[in-house]
Every structure is written in structure tokens, then in C-alpha cells.
Amino acid sequence: MSKPKSYLLWTITVIITVSAMFYQRMTGPTYPKRINIELAGQEYEFKLLRSNEIGTPCDINLEVEDLEVKATIYFKRFKVDEPWKEVKMQRKASHKKAFFGEGDEIEILTATLPEQPSAGKVEYHIDLFKNDEKVSITPSEPIVVRFKGFVPRYILIPHVLFMIISLFLGTRAGVEAIFGGNKTFKFTRITLVAFGIGGLILGPIVQKYAFGELWTGWPFGGDWTDNKTIFAWLFWLVAFVVLRKKPKNRIWPIIAMLVLFAMYMIPHSMGGSELDNETGKIETGIRG
């Protein structure tokens, strides 16, 4: 393969991979929810917490420099028939996070939600006030924050890296097959190994630390993340076996790549572990 064509295929691979990763980060139910509101002629953009590590204060922070703005947060345990608790958010100075260390000092309104057991959830919504004006943040569809156990970074970081590598090289294998390159089998083999390590070995270990269970997919449960991982990996296994016997049969790596994309189109952690507050058991496969 000529160098210009190789560069082109790598460029296509990078664009597709970054787009898929960006999409998942924007749609996953555990990433902060972006909210835009207008109060008294002033526009605000907030990032509201939807995941919190047990042992770390579950602080809900609103960056509001206007000292006349007040806020009240309402919260309760998710899917529990209990009254909403009402707490006035307190104002304090904080340091805005920067890429390295802490940035400038800012004014925030803050409140701390009560910690829950692993996979427990709390739902909340917020009212902001200035003089006689009031704006409500998601009162009809409260934001849900899920609690998880601490995952050692020596487990979490390799898991994330191997998943990124598998997406990147899986995309490269599919692109190589589409354009008739001669390294399809090589990239398929590496994808199979990287995906297996990241998704089927390190993934369950991450889940064990976070939610107390190694595997909650089929046949033991309905966890979407576990199920989509094993489903996609099996397609790469088939692609590997087929290419080993018939190197010119390129349809399977293309199919495997499309299945991998479909996996990433399902937001990460959707249909994941959730504590049933009545039974005390962790359920899986529950949407929302």
C-alpha cells in the first residue's frame, strides 16, 4: 500500500474513532448533564453531577457570580416513594478546575447530597431565584446521580486505554477491509486481543470494584454494557477465524466494525447496575 493511501486510511480511522468517543461521552448517563438557563436576563451554563464515588462528597455546584441569586435543591432516593427533601444551597468561594491544578477563584452555590450504597441513586432538581424571578432546573425530569465504589487507577486506566485501542484498531481493520488493504488480518487480530483484555478481563474487574459484581450480563443478568461487550467481541472472533482461513474474505471485519460502532452508539452505563432500595439487591438491565 502506498504511503499516501496509508495516511488517508489512518486519517479516516482517527476521525471516525474520535467522533464515536465524543458521541458516547456526550450521551452517557453518568457524564455531567449540561443545562442552560436564563435568569433575570443573565444566561448560565451548568454541568450537573450524575455519578459519584463513594467516600467523596456528592457536591452539586452551580457557578453563579451574582450574589443576589439564591437556589434551593430538592432530592430523594431514586424510585422510592418518599417526600422530597428541600435544602437551601450555600454560597462559597471555590477554585475553578484548570488543566493543571486549580484556576481562578469563583463564586458557587453548593449543596451535598446524601451518600448511597454502591449502585444506589439519588434524584434531584433545583430552583434558582433572583428577586421575584424563578427558574426551575429539570423539575419534571429530575437528574439522577448514581454512586459507585472506588476503582484503583491501575485497573481503571488500563481498562480505558485498551477499550480506546480496540475501537481505534477495530476501525482501522474495517477501513482496511473496505479499501482493500493487506493488513486487515493483522488489525483484526490485535483488536480481538485488545478488546478481550479491555472488555472481558479488565471490564468485569472494574465492575467488581464499582458495584460488587464481576459479571452482570447474560446469562446472569441484563447489564447492557456486559451484553454488548461480549456480543461485539464474538463478532471479532468470527472475523479472526474467517480471515485466518480465507484472508481475502473481508466482509466479516466490516461487519465486526459496524457492530463495534453500534456498541458505542449505546450510551455507556445505560441499563447498568441499580440498587433496589426495597430488597437491598442490585438489579441490572434497567433503563434510566
Q: Would you state the pLDDT for residue 287?
A: 47
Q: Which residues of the chain have pLDDT under 50?
A: 287-288
pTM score, whole prediction = 0.82
The secondary element (H helix, E strand) that includes residue 195 is: helix 184-195
Contacts within 8 Å (CB) and 24+ apart, 56-60: 57/112, 58/112, 58/113, 58/114, 58/115, 58/122, 58/145, 58/147, 59/110, 59/111, 59/112, 60/89, 60/110, 60/111, 60/112, 60/113, 60/124, 60/126
Q: Domains plus CATH for the chain?
A: 3-28+151-283 (no CATH), 33-148 (2.60.40)
**Cell numbers 430538592 correspond to what residue?**
74
Q: Give residue 6's identity as a one-letter amino acid code.
A: S
Chain centroid, CA 26 distance in Å: 8
Angle 280-283-288 (CA atoms, 0-180°, nearest 5)? 115
Nearest Cα residue to 235 out of 275, 269, 262, 205: 262
Q: Would you state the pLDDT for residue 222?
A: 67
Question: Are the C-beta atoms of residues 7 and 179 closer than 8 Å to each other?
Answer: no
Q: Would you state the pLDDT for residue 248?
A: 84
Nearest Cα residue to 211 out of 59, 23, 30: 30
User: Which DSSP symbol is given to 33?
Assistant: E
Q: Give residue 100's identity as a one-letter amino acid code.
A: F
Q: Would you state the pLDDT for residue 143?
A: 95
